[in-house]
Structure 1
Amino acid sequence: MCRWAAYRGEPLYLEDIVSSPAHSLITQSHSATEAKTATNGDGFGIAWYGERETPGLYRDVLPAWSDCNLRSLARQIRSPLFLAHVRAATSGSTRRDNCHPFVHGRWSFMHNGQVDNFEKLRRPIENLLPDHLYAARKGTTDSELIFLLALHFGLESEPLVALREAISFIERLAEHYGLVPDVRFTSAVSDGQRLFAVRYATTNHAPTLYAAPMGAAGGYCLVSEPLDDDRANWVGIPDGSAVVIGPEGLDVHVFGPETEANDGIQRAAK
């Protein structure tokens, strides 16, 4: 499983999360403590927001611990909102287009988890995408495809509803093909103004997610693993939850896919 971290609040340097803490994201890339494997060396990426509408994006296939450019950039870039990810590949080869975060317009997305039987579901999911979203697909991962599917389901207007419908569609599509649905999904997505995160799994074994205040008042960090040993500062986000961080602070909501998500399944299965 991958490791990731995201932040929204007053601008701070990326290094405050990516490289400086005792259990920074770079440290987690080779010494994760709450993942199935300690090493997440199949690439990394950062998407950050500044004065432009669309985010900056830096990704590479090198392990995060061995890229000196990453440490240098993290020391220099300040941002009020950024997503950072280190990858342990479960779907898709090790190439830059498969490294998270994924960006489309002003939206950025990253994911920890996987879709079981993805290779059997990939083509019917792709068939559902409209031409402009299908053309936007650059890599081969289940994560990028979930992002594009959520955009199709209305991510730009109702982010959590769109993510819920995308997951529900995949689960019901698996049932349609006689497969056991199994989606593990701990993700973050942002439009540059708000930060959304979801922790969900079909089997109630979702990858971990924690939250803690950071930076000036009103700033929050979301992580796969705490960045330090001060566990009292980190709150575990329950399975089946969605987090929204905006100007008003942090809110946690119940998250679960709709039971009625049949639209498009027959069309996608053709």
Structure 2
Amino acid sequence: MCRWLAYSGDPIYLDTLITQPDHSLVQQSLNSRLNFNQAGKLLSTNGDGFGIGWYDQRDVPGVFKDDIPAWHDNNLANLCHHIRAHTFMAHVRATTTGAIQRTNCHPFSYKNWLFQHNGQVSHFPKIRRELQFAIAPELFPHIHGNTDSETFFLLAVTYGLMDNPKTAIERMIEKVLTTLTQYDSDGVLNLSLAISDGTHLYTVRFSHNEAPMTQFYSTNTACLEAFDNESLPAIPNGCTVVVSEPLDNRDSHWQAIENHTFTTIKHNQVTTQPLFS
């Protein structure tokens, strides 16, 4: 299980969300409050690597990631302090699938697309071969790690992510569920996704046979009102922040995204559609 955030709006410095709030993403890598496993145990530490991906003036996003804990990397703090972006995402990892190595850290990228994931699929070692055989041959060389997340991403690209993101995600989910249930009718699939082409931000919340991963969004400029810190930079009007868990302690600032939905975001325009509709 992991924690992530994503942003769409006017350019801001990445540290506005990633390092500065009292319950920032880096703080969540040490002290998550809502990250529960299937048994209901709180997984407070997400120290198996991190990554950031951002869009500025170029079509292809920048990506920086490493397999050390986010709280332990001064380069992350320094980069976030100097990079401004209109769309970005960030991720701290607590692995359930795949080794602790840089190639398994999120976000994953392909051309102008970024993808990050929180969740799991059961029996991945058993179904991995069949899922990866469904990836388009020209995309197969882009598998660099051994996570379920990277496989989900390249399956979605195979199924037309760049032309119709919602349909591609639905086809990916159907393929994973069909393959999974061949091994275990009670198998679990849990997806909390953030995806972007640099123009739009998309999120997915879906679960099968397990309580869904948490996912919230805010268009409230006060969504960084902190526990103790009163010197945080302002979030501009017309922006949206999506998170695994809120960055402050004000529930009124955040709206939960419903399960089994596909959400499209551009600045503060948020449209949520049911999956498979």
Shorter-chain TM range is over 0.9
- Residue 97 of structure 2 corresponds to residue 77 of structure 1: no
Judge which range, 247-256 or 20-29, deviates more. Answer: 247-256
Give 1:17 shift.
0.7
Match of 2:165 among 159, 168, 172: 159
* SS of equivalent to 2:265: strand
Give 1:218 shift.
1.9
Give 1:87 shift.
0.1
Give 1:204 shift.
5.1
Alignment RMSD: 1.3
One-letter amino acid matched to 1:199: R
One-letter amino acid matched to 1:151: V
TM-aligned CA distance change 1:244 to 1:31, over 3 Å: same
Runs of at least 5 residues in structure 1 that lack an aligned partner in the other structure = 259-270
Counterparts of 1:176 and 1:69 in 2: how far apart (Å)? 45
One-letter amino acid matched to 2:253: N
Which residue is 2:255 aligned to? 235
Alignment of 1:47-62 (within 5 A): 47-62=53-68
Counterparts of 1:47 and 1:178 in 2: how far apart (Å)? 35
Partners of 1:12 and 1:80 within 8 A in 2: yes
* SS of equivalent to 2:145: coil
Which residue is 2:105 aligned to? 99
TM-score by length of 1: 0.92
Which residue is 1:200 aligned to? 206
Judge which range, 202-211 or 38-47, deviates more. Answer: 202-211
One-letter amino acid matched to 2:148: D
Counterparts of 2:190 and 2:78 in 1: how far apart (Å)? 33
Counterparts of 1:32 and 1:186 in 2: how far apart (Å)? 16
Counterparts of 2:167 and 2:181 in 1: how far apart (Å)? 21
How many residue pairs align between the two structures? 257
TM-aligned CA distance change 1:232 to 1:62, over 3 Å: same
Which residue is 2:6 aligned to? 6
Counterparts of 1:123 and 1:231 in 2: how far apart (Å)? 42
Partners of 1:210 and 1:222 within 8 A in 2: yes
One-letter amino acid matched to 1:210: F
- Residue 134 of structure 2 corresponds to residue 128 of structure 1: yes
* SS of equivalent to 1:192: coil
Judge which range, 177-186 or 24-33, deviates more. Answer: 177-186
Counterparts of 2:239 and 2:123 in 1: how far apart (Å)? 38
Counterparts of 2:2 and 2:13 in 1: how far apart (Å)? 22
Partners of 1:47 and 1:83 within 8 A in 2: yes
- Residue 57 of structure 2 corresponds to residue 45 of structure 1: no
Alignment of 1:216-255 (within 5 A): 216-246=236-266, 249-255=269-275
One-letter amino acid matched to 1:21: P
Measured against aligned partners, the alpha-carbon deviations of 1:198-224 in whole angstroms (never above 9, x if no partner) come to 011012511000000143222100000
Which residue is 1:15 aligned to? 15
Give 1:31 shift.
0.1
Give 1:178 shift.
4.8
Give 1:66 shift.
0.7
Which residue is 1:34 aligned to? 34
Partners of 2:186 and 2:209 within 8 A in 1: no
| Matched-pair identity in % | 38
TM-aligned CA distance change 1:227 to 1:248, over 3 Å: closer
One-letter amino acid matched to 1:227: L
Structure 1 runs (4+) deviating above 4 angstroms are none
Judge which range, 37-46 or 153-162, deviates more. Answer: 153-162
Measured against aligned partners, the alpha-carbon deviations of 1:107-157 in whole angstroms (never above 9, x if no partner) come to 000000011110110001111112211111100000000000000010001
Counterparts of 2:137 and 2:125 in 1: how far apart (Å)? 21
* SS of equivalent to 1:16: helix
Measured against aligned partners, the alpha-carbon deviations of 1:143-176 in whole angstroms (never above 9, x if no partner) come to 0000000000100011111111101111011223
